[in-house]
Amino acid sequence: MPRLQFVIASTRPGRVGPSVAAWAAEEARRHGGFDVETLDLAEIGLPFLDEPEHPSEAAYVHQHTKDWSATVSRGDAYVFVMPMYNGTFTAPLKNAVDFLYHEWQDKPVALLSYTAGPSGGVPAVEALRPILARIGFRPAERSISVPGIADLTGPDGFRAPAGLAGELGGVLDELAKLLADTDAAPAQV
Domain count, the chain: 1
| Listed residue (105, 178, 113, 169) closest to 141, CA to CA | 178
With residue 97 as reference, give the H or E element that holds it.
Answer: helix 91-98
pLDDT 10s digit of each residue in the chain, 189 long?
999 999 999 999 999 999 999 999 999 999 999 999 999 999 999 999 999 999 999 999 999 999 999 999 999 999 999 999 999 999 999 999 999 999 999 999 999 999 999 999 999 999 999 999 999 999 999 999 999 999 999 989 999 999 999 999 999 999 999 999 876 655 444
Write out the residue range of the structural domain in which residue 145 sits: 3-184
In a domain, 15, yes or no: yes
Q: What is the CATH number of the domain that holds 29?
A: 3.40.50.360
In a domain, 66, yes or no: yes
DSSP 174: H
